[in-house]
Amino acid sequence: MCKQVFRDFAKEITEDIILEAREKGYTIEDLAELVGVSKHSISHYLYDDKVPSLSAFIGLWRKTKPEKALRKLASWSGYAVFKLPEIDAHSFPILSKKTAASLQEFSEFIDSIGNAAIDSKITKAEAERIKKEGLEAIEKILETIHTAERLAK
């Protein structure tokens, strides 16, 4: 038997996934067919107290790609998410390296802000580190943009 906290979590996220899928134009019937369950099961997941099986949960997630639910999960963990661009196979290795470098620099920038804000004071040294990391992040982001422009057909 599943612990109540996990049941509550699964129910809340499943409801979010179904509602977001409906915003994207999926019907209850569409979702049932995509996941391989009855339309009554989808309705129960949404309106009643039924918790989906792990396979139904993962199926809903993979088929509908719920951005709002993902953002909710990330925020609960103190993270932020954004959608990566779709890139063709030839350009992917080049852009993925540039994107990864941009993300690493941006992460270091955000980290420097977080570390400086812990004590509710920002010293001159912390401000300098924030500036340095921010400028490095901007530089890497611009490199990624220019690489994408160069690879554009």
Angle between helices 4-23 and 28-35 (to 10 degrees): 120
CATH number for 17: 1.10.260.40
Range in 25-34, 46-55, 100-109, 128-137 the model is least confident about: 46-55
Question: Which residue type does 94 have?
Answer: I
**Domain-located, residue 129:** yes
**Domain-located, residue 32:** yes
**Domain-located, residue 86:** no
Domain residue limits at 127: 92-151
With 0-12 / 13-18 / 19 or more C-beta atoms within 10 angstroms meaning exposed / middle / buried, residue 146 is: exposed
Q: Which of residues 46, 76, 106 is at a domain's end?
A: 76
**Domain-located, residue 84:** no
Q: Report pLDDT digits (tens) over 78-128.
A: 777 766 666 666 667 787 888 888 989 999 999 999 999 988 899 999 999
What's the pTM value of the predicted model, to 2 decimals?
A: 0.59
**Domain-located, residue 27:** yes
